[in-house]
């Protein structure tokens, strides 16, 4: 790989971003498109890696609701079995014939006790049934308190509502070429004092070993006072760029990956939020430019932003061959 030696010479003059070099044993991309690290952690004990709170906060809403419903059904099945084991003669007000009806009465009595609704038609009789019912009511109160806290935490958790373009483009820019990514906020959670950063990872030849190196890539405009509409992040391919002098074959062979980081202050949350994603060399498009995704309204009184045009681009002629 002769071109790796060319990159290696540049690497000695680059200031690293603080990330350490990664050996050639790295598999796949560093970041997934949703910003999560593409890493599987092994060798950690079960209880050390078990983080139920974080998992419930970060999982999708539908999965979270499914787990809540599954937990509610499971816990009531458990207590219904306990009431059946104690004997339905210890639950007053039950008039059943079949085994299915008996289980149904025990299950719905458990649900009423767990939620502390208590309609009153069925009531525990005797110490053992009353003791189990009181424990279930206490467990239900604690469970609903935890579920309420988790629900609030999911909605109140600061999040950067940012969408990234599907591809990164090598587009014409000021009589040269630049690597461009387009972003847009997709809710009314607008950011102020937004700052973006590019980091490019390239495999280079160092001491006879192929390693992954990280380079800070300067942006034409790295900061924005407010982010209300789309923003095209532009990295000019100049002499100080880690991509300068490389052809698309070199970029592919070096398994180049573009890491994008965005940070800003969200006034809705009154907190700083962070977003990130990455583009591998397979997601680069050469000789293209983004098409405008907004235009004024018919009466020119407002601006219309089309989110569905975030990924739209058209062919463009590059003044420099890549």
Q: Are 226 and 218 in contact (CB under 8 A)?
A: no
Q: Is 58 left (phi over 0), alpha (psi -120 to 50) or beta?
A: alpha
How far lies 94's CA from each of 2, 86, 104, 118, 134, in Å?
A: 84, 14, 10, 14, 19
Q: Which residue has the tokens 């800003």?
A: 264
Q: Which residues contact 299 (CB under 8 A, 6 or more apart)?
A: none
| CB proximity list for 56: less than 8 A, separation 6 or greater | 64, 67, 150
Residues ≥6 apart with Cβ < 8 Å to 49: 41
Question: Which CATH architecture fits 2-40+159-315?
Answer: Sandwich (2.60)
Can you say how many angstroms the Cα of residue 13 is from the centroid of all Cα atoms in its chain?
34
Structure tokens at 110: 């458990």
Look at residue 16 in the predicted model and tell me its pLDDT.
44
How far apart CA 194 and CA 176 sit, in angstroms, is: 26
Residue at token pair 């407010």: 226
The pLDDT assigned to 15 comes to: 45
Nearest partner of 179 among 200, 201, 204, judged by Cα: 200
Give me the average pLDDT of each 10-residue run along the chain (322 residues).
49 46 62 82 70 82 92 95 89 79 89 88 88 93 92 83 94 93 88 94 80 90 92 94 91 93 88 93 95 90 92 90 78
Three-state SS at 206: strand
Tell me what pLDDT residue 152 has: 87
Q: Where in the chain is the domain with CATH 2.60.40.1400?
A: 2-40+159-315
Helix segments in 182-322, DSSP class H: 248-253
The CATH code belonging to domain 49-156 is: 1.10.287.70
- Cβ atoms of 191 and 227 within 8 Å: the answer is yes
Residues of the chain with CATH 1.10.287.70: 49-156
| Cβ burial 98-134 (10 Å sphere, 16+ → b, else e) | eeeebbebbbebbbbbbbeeeeeebbbbeeebeebbe
Structure tokens given for 197: 């950063």
Measured CA to CA, the distance from residue 147 to residue 26 in angstroms comes to 39
């Amino acid at each position: 790989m002769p071109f790796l030696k060319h990159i290696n010479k540049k690497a000695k003059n680059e200031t690293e971003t603080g990330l350490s070099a990664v050996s050639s044993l790295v598999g796949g991309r560093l970041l997934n498109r949703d910003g999560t690290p593409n890493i599987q952690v092994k060798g950690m004990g079960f209880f050390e890696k078990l983080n139920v709170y974080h998992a419930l906060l970060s999982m999708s809403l539908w999965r979270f609701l499914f787990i809540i419903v599954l937990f509610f059904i499971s816990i009531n099945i458990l207590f219904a079995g306990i009431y059946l084991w104690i004997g339905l003669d210890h639950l007053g007000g039950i008039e059943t014939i079949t085994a299915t009806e008996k289980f149904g009465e025990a299950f719905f009595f458990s649900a009423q006790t767990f939620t502390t609704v208590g309609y009153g038609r069925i009531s525990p009789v005797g110490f053992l049934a009353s003791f189990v019912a009181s424990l279930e009511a206490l467990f239900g109160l604690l469970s609903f308190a935890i579920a309420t806290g988790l629900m609030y935490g999911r909605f109140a958790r600061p999040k950067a509502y940012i969408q990234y373009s599907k591809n990164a483009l090598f587009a014409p820019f000021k009589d040269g070429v630049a690597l461009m990514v387009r972003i847009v906020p997709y809710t009314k959670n607008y950011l102020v004092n937004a700052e973006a950063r590019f980091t490019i990872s390239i495999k280079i030849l160092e001491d006879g070993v192929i390693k992954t190196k990280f380079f800070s890539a300067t942006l034409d405009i790295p900061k924005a006072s407010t982010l209300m509409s789309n923003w095209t992040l532009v990295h000019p391919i100049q002499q100080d760029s880690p991509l300068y002098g490389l052809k698309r074959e070199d970029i592919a062979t070096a398994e180049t990956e573009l890491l994008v980081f965005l940070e800003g202050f969200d006034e809705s949350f009154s907190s700083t939020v962070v977003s990130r994603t990455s583009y591998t060399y397979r997601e680069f498009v050469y000789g293209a430019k983004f098409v405008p995704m907004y235009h004024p309204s018919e009466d020119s009184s407002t601006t219309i932003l089309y989110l569905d045009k975030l990924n739209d681009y058209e062919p463009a002629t590059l003044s420099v061959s890549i």
